[in-house]
């Protein structure tokens, strides 16, 4: 039954993408489907993970990552959140000034921007990134009561304490901006300055992203995405699931860049973590999708008094009116719209984004 299901899934994929298998005696393989160039080649294995801290969690999973850029110092390991959850971290470089990157999602990992922005370490910084609970190489939390905003804030504070950082300089990407806003509201004296990189909408009433992204993708691609998601729900085969996921993200993320070929610039993809971790990423995503009409952290933005940089692509398909709310509300916020770039502006214009970050950090260093 499983073999029949697998063959059926591959046939559906072939019809979906117009792929053909010239050898009719063999089932299709991942090589028969496009967009697998997103899987990077030169990789190292993450360290062996510790057991999970919660009895309800699945254990952290090893997976591949790129080496540090330009042979910079690299340290990878685990730290514990306040509730015992094991969290994977990656530290690149050895500069005096430390930057902490909080990835988007929820439910993805440091492949979402962090390993591209870690090139900032080439400019003399120590760059720390980590997989949030429930995804990536961190503990695969399944208990929704352990996936609250307080939990995400507490794990960021645990990271600060683990590395003995006096004051954080965080970069919050997309969903990560919500974590940074909540952290800064709770621990205002622990933040030196901060960056909201392609931040999520600060209030549910401003969230028209799905409509904008669907319009940018067009009817054909949105139907392909819907078909892929249905197939991912049905299959129990990890190889097929990963293939489906690779195709899904390559189509979906094409709306986040001005040129789909720029996706190949990423130093890693969400598909490179274990299938178990990819599947479990649905847990935090489902937890927050259930609150789709209930968030508004704009009141947390007004008291922010440290220097703030907001970056978004000038050609983003994510509505800019929501991004501009950050600058409207925060007194010391500066907006940089990266020319000829989308929501994933660091892939469209990597040099421009890294230079904007470096200029901001150096101008606000104390």
For residues 185 and 150, the answer to whether their CB atoms sit within 8 Å is no
What's residue 28's pLDDT? Answer: 30
Query: If phi over 0 gives left and psi between -120 and 50 gives alpha, with beta otherwise, what is residue 18?
Result: left
CB atoms within 10 A of CB 220: 9
What's residue 5's pLDDT? Answer: 42
CATH of the domain at 137: 3.40.50.1820
Dist. CA 296–CA 77, nearest whole Å: 34
| pLDDT surpasses 70 at 36 | no
Mean pLDDT, rounded, of the chain:
88
Confidence band for 60, pLDDT divided at 50, 70 and 90: very high
Please confirm whether the linkage preceding 106 is cis (ω < 30° from 0): yes
- 2-6, 33-37, 270-274, 311-315: which is most confident: 311-315
Which region among 129-133, 220-224, 294-298 has the lowest average model confidence (pLDDT)?
294-298
| pLDDT surpasses 50 at 365 | yes
Dist. CA 363–CA 167, nearest whole Å: 17
Same domain, 284 and 324: yes
Confidence band for 207, pLDDT divided at 50, 70 and 90: confident
Which region among 16-30, 56-70, 104-118, 227-241 has the lowest average model confidence (pLDDT)?
16-30
For residues 112 and 59, the answer to whether their CB atoms sit within 8 Å is no
Same domain, 26 and 122: no
The angle formed by the CA atoms of residues 337, 249 and 338, to the nearest 5 degrees, is 10
Same domain, 20 and 148: no
Same domain, 81 and 26: no
Same domain, 160 and 75: yes
Q: Which two tokens stand for residue 190?
A: 């622990």
Same domain, 326 and 247: yes
The residue assigned the tokens 């905003």 is: 149
* C-alpha Rg value of the chain to the nearest Å: 20
The angle formed by the CA atoms of residues 101, 257 and 70, to the nearest 5 degrees, is 50
| pLDDT surpasses 50 at 40 | no
What's residue 14's pLDDT? Answer: 43
Query: pLDDT tens digit string along 282-304?
Result: 888 777 765 556 789 999 999 99
Same domain, 173 and 77: yes
What's residue 292's pLDDT? Answer: 55
| pLDDT surpasses 50 at 77 | yes
What's residue 192's pLDDT? Answer: 96
Confidence band for 334, pLDDT divided at 50, 70 and 90: very high
Same domain, 315 and 196: yes
Same domain, 20 and 105: no
**Domain count along the chain:** 2
Q: E strands, 69-116, where?
A: 74-80, 86-92, 97-102
Same domain, 99 and 77: yes
Domain that holds residue 13: 1-33
Query: pLDDT tens digit string along 83-116?
Result: 999 999 999 999 999 999 999 989 999 999 999 9
Stretch 47-75: mean pLDDT, rounded? Answer: 95
Stretch 11-34: mean pLDDT, rounded? Answer: 38
Same domain, 68 and 3: no
Q: E strands, 246-328, where?
A: 308-313
| pLDDT surpasses 90 at 340 | yes
């Amino acid at each position: 039954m499983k073999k029949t299901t697998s063959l059926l899934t591959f046939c559906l994929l072939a019809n979906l993408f117009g792929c053909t298998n010239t050898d009719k005696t063999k089932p299709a393989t991942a090589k028969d489907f496009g967009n697998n160039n997103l899987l990077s080649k030169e990789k190292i294995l993450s360290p062996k993970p510790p057991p999970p801290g919660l009895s309800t969690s699945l254990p952290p999973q090893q997976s591949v990552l790129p080496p540090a850029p330009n042979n910079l110092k690299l340290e990878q390991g685990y730290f514990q959140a306040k509730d015992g959850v094991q969290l994977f971290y990656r530290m690149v470089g050895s500069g005096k000034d430390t930057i902490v990157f909080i990835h988007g999602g929820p439910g993805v990992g440091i492949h979402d921007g962090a390993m591209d922005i870690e090139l900032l370490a080439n400019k003399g910084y120590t760059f720390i990134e980590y997989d949030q609970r429930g995804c990536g190489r961190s503990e695969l939390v399944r208990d929704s009561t352990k996936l609250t905003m307080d939990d995400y804030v507490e794990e960021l504070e645990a990271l600060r304490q683990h590395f003995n950082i006096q004051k954080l300089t965080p970069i919050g990407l997309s969903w990560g901006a919500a974590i940074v806003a909540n952290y800064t509201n709770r621990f205002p004296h622990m933040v030196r300055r901060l960056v909201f990189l392609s931040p999520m909408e600060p209030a549910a009433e401003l969230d028209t992203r799905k409509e904008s992204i669907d319009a940018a993708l067009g009817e054909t691609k949105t139907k392909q995405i819907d078909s892929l998601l249905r197939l991912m729900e049905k299959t129990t085969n990890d190889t097929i699931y990963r293939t489906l996921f690779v195709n899904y993200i390559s189509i979906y993320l094409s709306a986040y860049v001005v040129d789909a070929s720029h996706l190949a610039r990423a130093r890693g993809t969400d598909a490179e973590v274990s299938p178990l971790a990819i599947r479990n990423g649905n847990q935090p995503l489902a937890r927050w999708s259930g609150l789709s009409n209930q968030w508004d952290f704009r009141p947390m933005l007004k008291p922010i008094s440290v220097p703030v940089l907001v970056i978004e692509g000038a050609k983003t398909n994510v509505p800019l009116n929501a991004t501009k709310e950050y600058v409207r509300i925060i007194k010391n916020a500066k907006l940089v719209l990266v020319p000829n770039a989308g929501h994933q502006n660091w892939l469209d214009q990597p040099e421009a984004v890294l230079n904007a970050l470096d200029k901001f950090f150096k101008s606000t260093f104390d």
